């Protein structure tokens, strides 16, 4: 099963007082990955919003392994590691140009009904779209 890779750039405004990429930038990079992943499975945010459904994050976890600096090239990799009837867990890795892991993380999200703001179950057709990028943790 494939993982979705995407390239990221480091800009001067990403750098903190210590001289490396600020921790909040990784959360922004996770958002970029989620948008790419939803587009790749044919469920872009604009489309699901028209159906009255929206993705909402309920949990983010990041472990920082190696600092990234201005001039580094970064590759993000994202995939679904858990699928529920109304939720999904995305696993994410960030690597530098040498292929070394800079950070790993997960994000758990729910699909909510935009009117009621309550979790909503995905249809079987919608859930099937996740399968090309689903990799169970023990795989």
Does the structural domain 4-133 have CATH classification 1.10.10.10?
no
pLDDT in tens, 24-40: 999 999 999 999 999 99
Long-range contacts: 27-33, Cβ < 8 Å, 24+? 27/60, 27/62, 29/74, 29/76, 29/92, 29/94, 30/60, 30/62, 30/76, 30/78, 30/90, 30/92, 30/105, 30/107, 32/6, 32/8, 32/76, 33/4, 33/6, 33/76, 33/78, 33/90, 33/92
Handedness of CA 71, 104, 139, 121 (dihedral sign): negative
pLDDT in tens, 72-97: 999 999 999 999 999 999 999 999 99
Give the separation between CA 80 and CA 108, rounded to whole angstroms: 10
Say yes or no to pLDDT of 1 above 80.
no
Mean pLDDT (whole number) for 111-129:
92
Say yes or no to pLDDT of 41 above 60.
yes
Would you kindly state where each structural domain of the chain is located, as residue ranges?
Answer: 4-133
């Amino acid at each position: 099963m494939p993982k979705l890779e995407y390239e990221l750039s480091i800009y001067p405004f990403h750098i903190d007082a210590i001289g490396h990429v600020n921790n909040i930038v990784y959360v922004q990079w996770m958002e970029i990955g989620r948008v790419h992943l939803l587009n790749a499975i044919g469920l872009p945010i604009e489309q699901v919003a028209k159906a009255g459904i929206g993705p909402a994050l309920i949990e983010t976890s990041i472990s920082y392994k190696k600092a990234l600096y201005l001039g580094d090239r970064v590759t993000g990799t994202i995939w679904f590691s858990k699928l529920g009837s109304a939720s999904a867990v995305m696993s994410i890795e960030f690597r530098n140009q040498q292929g070394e892991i800079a950070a790993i993380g997960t994000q758990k999200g729910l699909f909510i009904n935009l009117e009621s703001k309550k979790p909503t179950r995905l249809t079987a057709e919608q859930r099937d779209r996740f399968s090309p990028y689903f990799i169970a943790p023990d795989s």
